[in-house]
Amino acid sequence: MKNRSVKILSLLLLFMAGGTLSAQQFQYPFQNPALSISERVNDLVARMTLEEKAGQLMYAAPAIERLGVPAYNWWNECLHGVARNGRATIFPQAIGMAATFDTGLMQRVGDAISDEARAKYNVSIAHGYRGQYQGLTFWTPNVNLFRDPRWGRGQETYGEDPFLTSRIGVAFVQGLQGNHPRYLKSAAMAKHYAVHSGPEALRHEFDATVSMKDLWETYLPAFEALVTEARVEGVMGAYNRTNGAPCCAHPYLMQEVLRKKWGFKGYFTSDCWALQDIYSGHKVVDTPQEAAALALNTGCNLNCGSTYPELLKAIEMGLTSEAMIDQNLKELLPTRFRLGLFDPPGTVPFDQIGPEVIGSEEHLKLSREAAQKSIVLLKNNGVLPLRKDVASIFVTGPTAAHAQALLANYYGLSDDLKTILEGIMGKTSPQTSVHYSQGALLDEPNRNPIDWFSGEAGAAEVAIACLGISQLIEGEEGESIASRHKGDREDIGLPPSQAEFLKKIRANAKKLVVVLTGGSAIACPEVYEMADALVFAWYPGEQGGNAIADILFGDAVPSGRLPVTFPMSANDLPPYEDYSMANRTYRYMEKEPLFPFGFGLSYTSFGYDGLKLSPAQAGAGQEVVAEVTVTNTGRYKGEEVVQLYLTDTQASVPVPKYALKGFQRVSLWPGASETVRFTITPEMMKIVNEKGERVLEKGDFKVYIGGSQPSQRSLTLGAAASQEGKFTIK
């Protein structure tokens, strides 16, 4: 053992010094870091038996002891922090981080998460632990389009806009994977490919039928951006079918688009047990052997599930071949090499990351910053911010002390969760009298009808009602134990029992602040009318209570923006099973919303002036530069999310009413101004025709720049007017 340690140390010193590693120093060529990844992969594949090869196509890949290949479990999660593997920093849920409209922040969050991922991996390996949720291949992010607020998993996404989803997703992947020229810090994944957003109850048998226009205009742009810009390492196929073919055995999506058109070089995995759906749910084939062969032959490199053990029998039946297994392995295994998993210990720079980064003070501050920037102020009649020395506060509601309202789904664990109640208690002065009563259950009437809470609301100077939902109500198929629709929401309003509870509070409260938690739109016009101030906090992570209190008491100025439209009610939505984008999202919706996409208020105010477009007439293929002056016209230093929307007014096919094409955060002191510039590229000007082709047409384009979507509803709710201009493509 001593001689082996000396040999490894010598190799490490040689490698770090830039020396050449001799092939004689390794038992097999695949172990030699000096060789190319393709050479190493080819060597390893050539040395495996057929049975060993089939085993490596499973998510829980067994060890091959005779070759010195350790076991590896591909399945890990880090949607908003390393998940399901003990202690980790818990950041706001994905939909909340999208509400920050802050790509720099998102990359920093991804970087922090991957540091913790490496630290946990290093410690696990040192103790011989190689189980599920302990690897470095993370099945994150979820860049499906949140087309319908009834979908319980919409909280995992970055909202309803393809541009916002693309920008936030690219930044997160870049943070997770790092920028080392040789090694990945961790391996990210774009999921669920493609056209996947419910219903949860039907996902194992459902066919999502879409036009080529909707496919390329709405459902694919984020996946394309992650593959072509961020070089995401993995792609996961969805459970459902798309236009007739299972998403984990879809020749067009997996080969024509992903591999050939986009040039994807990473690995493709099935969603977990999705290959079983091919024969038991979709009934495209009759047997597990046929399903295994169909998926393998189409390029599903990895099986999360239990179907690929049937490959050996499928080969005997002539349904596939060992050569096809080899081809899939050569697309799968490079990821393990890019992570450095076959290199001598200590040669990968991330081997030195230790457990001290897990839940570090720096990461907790980052989680709090992300939560602060995610919180959206929807209404404020001058009640906020509160004074810290206010005489008395009554805190009530089912989410005030509810840890699940912080965690969302796919979460890690912390020994220091900060609920809303705890955050408020950390802000108030010693002389402030604070009373607390939960007052109401999450989604059912109180069994005990005695009212001991509305009187408290009347006695306090301010009542803070913490309402909304949690992942007990919305989430994935089997995890939301209080859901009546397998994780989905049939009614997108506030639970009726909470609405009735709030009416009693409102009848007595002098000042009423409502804090809503949730991972999707809550249609609550009655809450908007009753509240003096309304704050939407999403699922804000372990520092959520502190961040909410920072906003309520003015230590942070709200700057979040809605990444989804809040409809007035579910009656304004098309049928849930309909995947057409007609009348969906802010881009195509005809009904006036309760709260528009891109909307959010501040404690200060911002004005826009002097929009310039250059050139006003551009040739095909020419960029247009847009600039506008933004001024803080209020009393607080604050951050503004400047948004650019584009409309093609002379398109030959129907196009979005508005399409987000740029956003920037600017921080301004009162009275200060800044000129913000955007570059509108020819790619942004292209429309998608009925064939799904992107084409640039001549004609006029309208440009809107402001702090919200340029709709009348935004103005009615208090947003500043956008600057509007026009340019022409000759």
Alpha helices in 614-680 (DSSP H): none
Indicate the SS3 state at residue 515: strand
Contact 573, 445 (CB under 8 A): no
Peptide bond into 521 cis (omega under 30): no
Contact 393, 435 (CB under 8 A): yes
Catalytic, 444? Answer: no
> Look-up: residue for tokens 């981080």?
97
Those residues with Cβ within 8 angstroms of residue 147's Cβ, 6 or more apart along the chain or in another chain: 160, 197, 218, 579, 581, 584, 585
383 forms bridges with which residues in the sheet?
none
Terminal alpha carbon distance of the chain: 74
What tokens were used for 593?
């919303």
Catalytic, 474? Answer: yes
Report the C-alpha gap between 353 and 139 in whole angstroms: 21
- The residue among 194, 181, 176, 170 whose CA lies nearest residue 118 is 176
Alpha helices in 522-639 (DSSP H): 525-530, 544-552, 585-588
What tokens were used for 382?
């001058």
Distance of alpha carbon 563 from its chain centroid, rounded?
Answer: 11
Indicate the SS3 state at residue 127: coil
Contact 535, 376 (CB under 8 A): yes
Check 271, 351, 532, 648 and give the catalytic one.
Answer: 271
Q: How many residues does the chain have?
A: 730
DSSP 203-249: TTT-EE---HHHIIIIISHHHHHHHHTS--SEEEE-SSEETTEETTS
Contact 710, 722 (CB under 8 A): yes
Alpha helices in 516-583 (DSSP H): 525-530, 544-552
Report the C-alpha gap between 35 and 133 in whole angstroms: 30
CA pseudo-torsion sign 35, 38, 43, 45? positive
- The residue among 259, 338, 272, 333 whose CA lies nearest residue 299 is 259
Report the C-alpha gap between 368 and 64 in whole angstroms: 44
Please give the helix or strand (H or E) that residue 726 lies within, else none: strand 723-729
Check 474, 639, 640, 648 and give the catalytic one.
Answer: 474
The strands making up 189-193's β-sheet, listed across from edge to edge, are 189-193, 234-237, 267-270
Indicate the SS3 state at residue 438: coil
Q: Which residues are catalytic?
A: 271, 474
